[in-house]
Chain A
Amino acid sequence: GGIITQTPKFLIGQEGQKLTLKCQQNFNHDTMYWYRQDSGKGLRLIYYSITENDLQKGDLSEGYDASREKKSSFSLTVTSAQKNEMAVFLCASRRDWGEDEQYFGPGTRLTVL
């Protein structure tokens, strides 16, 4: 078995601040994802990466940067935090190309003051 770890669990920042969320997986999966989950809504894809140093934009990439420097880790940066992007950010990984099962971390809840 494996696990996805997201840090921090809760992130509080000021409006306009640059904030970084981290995700680690020990599944040895190639593909990793960052989603944003707004309250009462579905998940929207921000970025994904199919291998180390690869980055692919999702539908919600504006205002975010991502980094995949190692196979096991995938970071997301909120470039200038806004109050309307308070949400839970979920990291996920997937074993193989074409595989539908994604494994999710517990999430980071972002609060912007």
Chain B
Amino acid sequence: TQTVSQSDAHVTVFEGDSVELRCNYSYGGSIYLSWYIQHHGHGLQFLLKYYSGNPVVQGVNGFEAEFSKSDSSFHLRKASVHWSDSAVYFCAVRMSNYNVLYFGSGTKLTVEP
């Protein structure tokens, strides 16, 4: 069974700060990694994904994530956050040739003015 771990349940930063949201996974095979964002009262929206190639992938709204095989990680970063980035962020893992995403427990990002 694969697991997805988001160690920080809550992260609070100020507008303009940089932020890193952490995601670690446990699975040794070929996998796809993705990040989703959930604003309060809404469903999830896809941000970005990684399968192979350049370990740094770019997403929407200035987000990027970096894959590290040695650390089993796929951390999400943004150089300068805006108040509208306040939301819950979910990391997800999918085994190749498999139809199901496994989600982490989420990190709630609060951006203060």
Residue of B nearest to A4 (CB): B43
- Is the interface on chain B under 10, 10 to 19, 20 to 34, or 35 or more residues? 20 to 34
Cα–Cα distance between A58 and B41 once the two chains are bound (Å): 24
User: Which residues of chain B from 64 to 113 have any CB-CB distance to chain A below 8 Å in the complex?
Assistant: 90, 92, 94, 96-97, 99-101, 103-106
- Cα separation A105 to B38 with both chains bound (whole Å): 11
Give complex CA distance A45, B44 in Å: 14
Q: Which residues of A contact B (CB under 8 A)?
A: 4, 31, 40-45, 48, 50, 56, 58, 90, 92, 97-98, 100-107
Pick from A31, A40, A43, A103 the residue with the most CB of B within 10 Å.
A43
Which of B9, B44, B94, B106 meets A90, CB within 8 Å? Answer: B44
Residue contact A102 to B101, C-beta cutoff 8 Å: yes
A97 to chain B: closest residue by CB? B99
